[in-house]
């Protein structure tokens, strides 16, 4: 970090100013003092935090918090930390007055080592009989399960549990794998058992610490002197690698996952320039080194699509050349149908990205842009500062590793709908084309054959409901980011009604596109959240949903009135007039732009509004 950057960081007076500086930093190039500098300034300028993270461990882990705080801050997430006393993990979760419970964390990171839990395994593995080895394994899994249950019971936090680090060298040396029960096998079975024990809890996630630290080399992650002096099992290299892995979870929990990967074609998705080298001259496919580089890159991108990431193209090319390339080069993992939107023309790429965002009805800040050309990257960086633009070196063999290391596309869960996301957005583009062809809005809506299903949200849908709460920005009247613990409470608590909304039409199945959360209190129904995916906007579906809400709560004696609130953000301007349009009365407007609405059962606005060509099904 140069001196000017340090001076600018020290002189910042607020988080926004600090973030504008540190978002440009590469944390892998920061030394310990620079990490501490940025960490102190984050704490100094913090008015509030996005997430509160508590750390519980049986080895010295204090310096992990600054690393995670700085890495997450570079990604726009402000973390406040609490580090529990050394080796007090059980007490911290048992006592109602402990520091962890009092801190009310959003996330708890539990990082335990075998060295502290089962010293016999670390010191005398070769002399232990198989029965004792198995007993130690079962005891550790039982302990972790107890701690997980305590964390779930005592807090509303997400629990991130590190798995166990397999030693760099086995006590039996190269003969280890010939033992009846090898040390390698023992750690592998321990980590497999840990996966099984935690898999089915929606608030508990296993952090693959063993794999994350193996990437940087297990010989590089420990300072022997500090291990014996201060019980520090990880040095700065290890802490940075673990913090980087934890940050992937933090991004997902904070709802900062990006939705769309925009790709260039020439020398990015394939080698060569199709307009100059011809279809047969571009490099992609198996059997030769340069072709396999791009083949592997495309294969990984295809897997991103399966994870629910939208794929799009922005390429300066002749459309006919590109279509011919995809048609004839069938060995490519990706086809044109894998891309939800395509801008293949000679327009500036930043204007194409803006056009693409409008067509997909998603925010430009949900874009990641990959292009081999530094000029194109620079133009997008300077004109669209919300877009993530990774730097790509000249060597294309590095592209795959850069993309794999990227934390932008991480999700806590993968749902059935994720695999169909690109097709859903592509179908939405077809709907837009149909709308333009028909012209008349009423005729267009009637032509869609829309069917809306509204039903009480079920436990098996928690993962998708959480995605909608955490990722939806435009059609979200309050933008309250309810997490999995709260969603579980809404489903189980009779004081809340949580509804899921699914849609199909003549173009396909849009899946679950919305949720509505209503809290009942003293005969009044409070609309806490009204959320709908951007791909369902502009079709009167929101009016159909509100008609059902009015019918349910105001037509009988169930509620005296509906109360709702609009909380403005930079992105939810499209719903600013939603409650006005639905017949609600504005009763209060705050200085910050918040608007409070009411609708009484006998009021004129309580009547259902007309919706054209939409079939509605209300389930249990």
Q: What is the pLDDT of residue 567?
A: 94
Q: Is 341 helix (H, G, I), strand (E, B) or coil?
A: strand
Question: How far apart (Å, rounded) are the C-alpha atoms in residues 340 and 310?
Answer: 7
Residue 190 CA, distance from chain mean position: 28
Only one residue has tokens 């063999």, namely 397
Determine the straight-line distance between the first and last CA of the chain, rounded to whole angstroms: 58
Q: What is the pLDDT of residue 539?
A: 77
| Structure-derived torsion over alpha carbons of residues 445, 447, 453, 459, reported in degrees to the nearest 10 | -90
User: Is the pLDDT assigned to residue 380 strictly greater than 90?
Assistant: yes
pLDDT in tens, 412-440: 988 777 777 667 776 666 666 665 555 55
User: Is the pLDDT assigned to residue 569 strictly greater than 80?
Assistant: yes
Q: What is the pLDDT of residue 174?
A: 95
Which tokens in the block code for residue 176? Answer: 């280890």
Q: What is the pLDDT of residue 603?
A: 78
Asked whether the beta carbons of 294 and 269 are under 8 A apart, the reply is yes
Nearest to 281 by CA among 270, 269, 265: 270
Which tokens in the block code for residue 426? Answer: 């592509």
pLDDT in tens, 49-85: 999 999 999 999 999 999 999 999 999 999 999 999 9
User: Is the pLDDT assigned to residue 115 strictly greater than 80?
Assistant: yes
Q: 404 exposed, middle or buried (CB, 10 Å; 0-12, 13-18, 19+)?
A: exposed
Mean pLDDT of 109-116: 96
Q: How confident is the model at residue 508 (pLDDT cuts 50, 70, 90)?
A: confident
Which tokens in the block code for residue 45? Answer: 């300028």
Q: How confident is the model at residue 170 (pLDDT cuts 50, 70, 90)?
A: very high
Residue 253 CA, distance from chain mean position: 6
What is the residue-averaged pLDDT of the chain? 91
Q: What is the pLDDT of residue 443?
A: 67
Question: How far apart (Å, rounded) are the C-alpha atoms in residues 199 and 324?
Answer: 45
Number of neighbours of residue 472 by Cβ within 10 angstroms: 22
What share of the chain in percent tops pLDDT 70? Answer: 95
pLDDT in tens, 296-349: 999 999 999 999 999 999 999 999 999 999 999 999 999 999 999 999 999 999
Q: What is the pLDDT of residue 154?
A: 94
Which tokens in the block code for residue 144? Answer: 């972790």
Q: How confident is the model at residue 98 (pLDDT cuts 50, 70, 90)?
A: very high
Q: What is the pLDDT of residue 535?
A: 74
Percentage helix, strand, coil for the chain under 3-state DSSP, each rounded to 5: 50, 20, 35
DSSP type of residue 584: P
Which is higher by pLDDT, 433 or 393?
393
Q: Which helix (H) or strand (E) holds 262?
A: strand 260-263
Nearest to 114 by CA among 93, 83, 139, 84: 139
Question: How far apart (Å, rounded) are the C-alpha atoms in residues 159 and 373?
Answer: 41
| Helix residue spans in 262-288 (DSSP H) | 274-277
Q: What is the pLDDT of residue 429?
A: 65
Question: How far apart (Å, rounded) are the C-alpha atoms in residues 101 and 155?
Answer: 7
Q: Give the chain's domains with CATH numbers.
A: 1-47 (no CATH), 48-253 (3.40.50.1110), 260-405 (3.40.50.1000), 418-618 (3.40.630.30)
User: Is the pLDDT assigned to residue 588 strictly greater than 80?
Assistant: yes
Q: What is the pLDDT of residue 439?
A: 55
Which tokens in the block code for residue 15? Answer: 């988080």
Mean pLDDT of 557-562: 80
Question: How far apart (Å, rounded) are the C-alpha atoms in residues 107 and 409?
Answer: 20
Asked whether the beta carbons of 105 and 82 are under 8 A apart, the reply is yes
Q: What is the pLDDT of residue 516?
A: 96
* 113 φ/ψ angles, rounded to the nearest 5 degrees: -110, 150
pLDDT in tens, 210-241: 999 999 999 999 998 988 898 899 999 999 99
């Amino acid at each position: 970090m140069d001196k000017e950057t340090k001076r600018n960081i020290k002189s910042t007076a607020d988080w926004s100013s600090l973030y504008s500086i540190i978002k440009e930093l590469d944390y892998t190039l920061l030394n310990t003092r620079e990490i501490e500098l940025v960490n102190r300034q984050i704490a100094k300028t913090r008015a509030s935090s996005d997430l509160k993270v508590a750390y519980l461990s049986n080895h010295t882990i204090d310096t992990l918090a600054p690393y995670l705080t700085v890495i997450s801050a570079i990604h726009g997430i402000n973390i406040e930390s609490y580090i529990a006393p050394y080796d007090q993990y059980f007490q911290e979760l048992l006592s109602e007055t402990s520091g962890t419970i009092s801190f009310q964390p959003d996330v708890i990171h539990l990082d335990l080592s075998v060295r502290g839990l089962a010293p016999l395994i670390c010191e005398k593995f070769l002399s232990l009989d198989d029965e004792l080895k198995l007993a130690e394994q079962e005891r550790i899994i039982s302990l972790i399960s107890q701690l997980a249950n305590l964390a779930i019971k005592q807090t509303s936090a997400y629990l991130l549990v590190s798995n166990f680090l397999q030693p760099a060298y086995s006590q039996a040396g190269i003969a280890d794998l010939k033992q009846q029960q090898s040390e390698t096998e023992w750690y592998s079975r321990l980590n497999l058992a840990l996966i099984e024990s935690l898999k089915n809890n929606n608030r508990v996630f296993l952090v693959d610490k063993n794999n994350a630290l193996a990437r940087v080399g297990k010989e590089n992650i420990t300072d022997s002197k500090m291990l014996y002096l201060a019980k520090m099992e990880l040095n700065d290299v290890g802490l940075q690698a673990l913090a980087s892995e934890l940050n992937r979870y933090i991004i997902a929990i904070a709802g900062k996952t990006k939705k769309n990967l925009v790709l260039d074609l020439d020398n990015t998705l394939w080698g060569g320039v199709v307009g100059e080298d011809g279809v047969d001259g571009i490099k992609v496919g198996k059997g030769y080194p340069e072709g396999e580089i791009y083949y592997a890159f495309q294969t990984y991108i295809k897997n991103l699509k399966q994870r629910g990431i939208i794929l799009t193209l922005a390429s300066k090319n002749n459309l006919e050349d590109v279509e011919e390339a995809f048609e004839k080069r069938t060995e490519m993992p990706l086809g044109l149908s894998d891309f939800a939107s395509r801008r293949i023309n000679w327009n500036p790429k930043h204007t194409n990205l803006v056009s693409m965002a409008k067509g997909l009805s998603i925010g430009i800040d949900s874009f990641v842009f990959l292009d081999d050309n530094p000029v194109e990257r620079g133009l997008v960086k300077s004109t669209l500062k919300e877009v993530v633009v990774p730097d790509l070196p000249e060597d294309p063999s590095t592209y795959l590793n850069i993309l794999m290391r990227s934390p932008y596309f991480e999700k806590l869960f993968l749902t059935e709908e994720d695999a169909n996301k690109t097709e859903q957005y592509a179908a939405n583009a077809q709907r837009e084309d149909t709308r333009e062809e028909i012209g008349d809005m009423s005729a267009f809506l009637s032509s869609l054959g829309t069917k809306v299903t509204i039903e009480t949200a079920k436990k098996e849908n928690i993962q998708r409901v959480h995605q909608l709460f955490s990722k939806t920005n435009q059609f979200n009247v309050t933008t309250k980011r309810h997490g999995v613990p709260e969603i579980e409470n809404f489903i189980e608590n009779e004081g809340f009604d949580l509804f899921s909304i699914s849609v199909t039409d003549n173009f396909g199945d849009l899946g679950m596109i919305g949720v509505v959360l209503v809290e009942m209190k003293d005969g009044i129904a409070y609309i806490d959240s009204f959320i709908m995916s951007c791909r369902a906007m502009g079709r009167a579906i929101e009016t159909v949903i509100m008609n059902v809400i009015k019918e349910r709560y105001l037509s009988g004696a169930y509620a005296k009135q509906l109360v709702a609130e609009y909380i403005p953000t930079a992105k939810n301007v499209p719903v600013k007039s939603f409650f006005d349009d639905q017949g609600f009365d504005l009763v209060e407007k705050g200085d910050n732009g918040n608007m409070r609405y009411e609708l009484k059962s006998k009021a004129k606005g309580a009547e259902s509004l007309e919706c054209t060509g939409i079939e509605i099904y209300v389930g249990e």
